[in-house]
Amino acid sequence: MRVFVDDDSCRGHGVCAAVCPSVFVITDGGYAEAVEDDISPELESSVREAVDGCPERAIHVKEENHVN
C-alpha cells in the first residue's frame, strides 16, 4: 500500500498524526505529510483508520500487491 496526502485538501487538523504518528506528521507549515509512503502490512490498519478519520478526505492510498 502506498499513501499520500493531498496538499490542496489537507487543512492540518492533525487527526492523521494522532491516529498514526509513525506515518503522518504535521509539518512546520501546519499541514500533514506522509513520512512513509510505502506502508508495511503492520501499519496498514492504522493508515486506513487515518484515511477514514480525515475530515477533508485528503489522504489517498494506492493498493499494491506485494510479491515476496
For ligand SF4, the binding residues (CB under 6 A) are 5, 10-16, 24, 32, 54, 56, 58-59
Q: Which is nearer to ligand SF4, 32 or 39 (CB)?
A: 32
Quote the least distance from Cβ 22 to ligand SF4, whole Å. Answer: 14
Quote the least distance from Cβ 41 to ligand SF4, whole Å. Answer: 22
Quote the least distance from Cβ 63 to ligand SF4, whole Å. Answer: 19
Among the listed residues 17, 54, 52, 48, the one whose alpha carbon sits nearest the alpha carbon of residue 32: 17
Range 24-32 contact pairs with CB under 8 angstroms and sequence separation of 24 or more:
24/50, 24/59, 31/5, 31/7, 32/5, 32/58, 32/59
